Chain A
Amino acid sequence: MKLLSKYNRINIGITIIVFLLGSVCFYFVLRYILVNQLDETLQSERQEILQYVKAHQQLPDIENTREQWISFEQSEVQPAKAFMQSHYAFNQHKHEEEEVRQYIFSLQVAGNNYTVTVNKSQEETEDLLQIIILVTIAMIALILLANFIINRKVLGRLWNPFYTTIAHIKDYHLSGKPSLTLDKVSTDEFLLLNESLNEMALRINKDYDSLKRFTENAAHEMQTPLAVIRSKIELMLQTSELKQIQMQHLQEIEDATSKLAKLHQSLLMLTKLENNQFILNEQVDLKKIIEEKIAEKQDLFEAKKLKLTITLEETKVSFHQHLAEIMASNLLNNALRYTAAEGSVTITLTDSHFIICNTAANGSLDTGKVFQRFYKPGNKQEGTGLGLAIVKEICLTAGFSIEYVFANESHKFIVGFK
Chain B
Amino acid sequence: MKILIVEDEVVLNKSMVAYLGDMGYVCESVNNYNAALEKIDHYTYDCIVLDIMLPGGTGLQLLKYLKDDRKTDGVIIISAKDQLEDKLTGLQLGADDYLTKPFHLSELSMRIEAIIRRRNFNGQSVINAGNISVDITAKTVSANDSPIELTQKEFQLLLYLLINKNRILSKNAIAQYLWGDDMDFAENYDFIYTHIKNLRRKIVAAGGDDCIRSVYGMGYKLQAQ
Contacts and interface: CB of A to CB of B under 8 A. Distances in A.
B26 interface: no
A226 B216 contact: no
A247 to B, nearest CB: 4
B11 A235 contact: no
A382 B187 contact: yes
Contacts of A216: 81, 83
Contact of A382 (B101, B184, B219): B184
B181 to A, nearest CB: 7
Nearest to B85: A277
B111 to A, nearest CB: 15
Nearest to A299: B153
Contacts of B84: 322
Interface residues of B, number: 49
B62 interface: no
A290 to B, nearest CB: 14
Nearest to B10: A228
Interface stretch (A49-57, A70-78, A217-225, A348-356): A217-225
A276 to B, nearest CB: 14
A296 B180 CA distance: 9
A251 interface: yes
B105 A234 contact: yes
Given A216-B81, A238-B167, A326-B182, A300 B191 contact: yes
Nearest to B80: A223
10 contacts: A216-B81, A219-B80, A231-B19, A234-B19, A235-B19, A237-B170, A238-B19, A247-B215, A258-B185, A300-B183
A250 interface: yes
Q: Which 6 A-B pairs have the closest CB atoms?
A: A231-B15, A223-B80, A227-B102, A226-B102, A227-B101, A220-B80
Contacts of A237: 167-168, 170, 219
B184 A329 contact: no
B15 A232 contact: yes
B184 A250 contact: no
A219 B81 contact: yes
B30 interface: no
A175 to B, nearest CB: 12
Of A222, A230, A329, A337, most B-chain CB atoms within 10 Å: A230
A333 B183 CA distance: 7
Given A216-B81, A251-B172, A228 B183 contact: no
A407 interface: no
Interface string A336-377: 010000000000000000000000000000000000000000
Contacts of B176: 258
Contacts of A303: 190-191, 194
Contact of A248 (B80, B103, B191, B218): B218
Interface stretch (A147-155, A202-210, A260-268): A260-268
Contacts of A326: 182
